[in-house]
Amino acid sequence: MSALRPYSDALESLLARLVPVRAQACALAQAVGHVAAEDVIAPQPVPASAIALRDGYEMQAQVIAGASSYAPVVLTHTPRFVAAGEALSPDGDCVVEASGLDLDSPLPQALVESFPGENIRRAGEDFAQGAILVRAGAIISSQQALLMSQACVQQIGVRAPVVDLRGDDTLLAAFMRDQLKLAGAKLEGAPDLVIVLGAKSGKQRLALEPGADLSFGEEQGVPAIYVPARIDHVFAALYGFVRPALAHLSGAQEAEARLPLAQKIASRVGVAEFALLEARDGQFHLRALGDLPLQSLASATHVSLIAALSEGHAAGDMMSAVPVRT
């Protein structure tokens, strides 16, 4: 029987054959779901000048200081009405609602006092000019795209690797398609990576549990990962190879959580093992190690890979893990 191939060797070999994709400029709507190629900077303050947060009348707070229904402040002129979102003049520093004024008397009167900044958004309070809106390596969300549009960003540079997913149209394939999209990949175009679901076991087993039967090769010159049609091997392929490969191709920054372990993890030396974890009460609780029962997959919130040379971790040790995407 041939020796097991180390997980680290298989991953390094795969990444060495992958060429990071080039950045391309695209409109915000098309950028959603892809990886930002660089930091996105606010080109100007937002708002550019003070705006009203609600319908009312533009005022200067010092002019109506101390005003009340018992001691109205007579105004020298009728104040200007502004709708919510409308820009104030340079002199206005607050907005008073209509109920706070008496505009039917011979001379307009303020019935309430206000303070500078009340019912307004000052210039730059949403975003200062030069503020970083999105960090390079982040996967653009629809919320981020919406906020960037308010900062007058019209297009950004993204990296979107293309994956050719092959295999039977099963729930496993549907799951992998969703996971690829969550990781910022596209499923149409000239592929940067091929994934074949339903493949037979490789000739050389990996020192990886689960995932020993994953194998690698090429399809028309494109690096390929061959995945047996088993839930645990699809999981191992996704977190052990696919997500690292997509991060290598796109520059995506994987979010990690770091929490203390609630109990000891004892791992086999010589075999890399996936640990399924549940984040609860400020700790990671082990749900499964190496062998992954379905119930553990259902309850896990994070996953970590215990290195082949590690004997595990003691209770209380700080551990890093990536979120399980659903």
Please give the Cα distance from 102 to 65 (Å, whole number).
16
pLDDT averaged over consecutive 10-residue blocks of the chain (326 residues)?
Answer: 86 96 94 96 94 97 96 95 96 96 94 97 95 95 94 94 91 94 94 93 87 94 95 95 97 93 92 96 95 91 93 93 89
Quick one: pLDDT at residue 1? 46
Return the sign of the alpha-carbon dihedral for residues 248, 253, 254, 259: positive
Q: What is the pTM of this model?
A: 0.85
The top-level CATH class assigned to 257-323 is mainly beta
DSSP alpha helix (H) spans, the chain: 7-16, 28-31, 142-150, 171-182, 231-237, 243-250, 294-299
Instruction: For the domain covering 22-46+128-159, report its CATH number.
Output: 3.90.105.10
Quick one: pLDDT at residue 199? 83
Domain 51-121 of CATH type 2.170.190.11 = yes
- Structural domain boundaries in the chain: 5-21+161-250, 22-46+128-159, 51-121, 257-323
- CA within 13 Å, CB half, 220: 7
Domain range 5-21+161-250, CATH architecture: 3-Layer(aba) Sandwich (3.40)
Quick one: pLDDT at residue 2? 62
Which of 263, 326, 268 lies closest to 300 in space, CA to CA?
Answer: 326
5 φ, ψ to 5°?
A: -85, 125
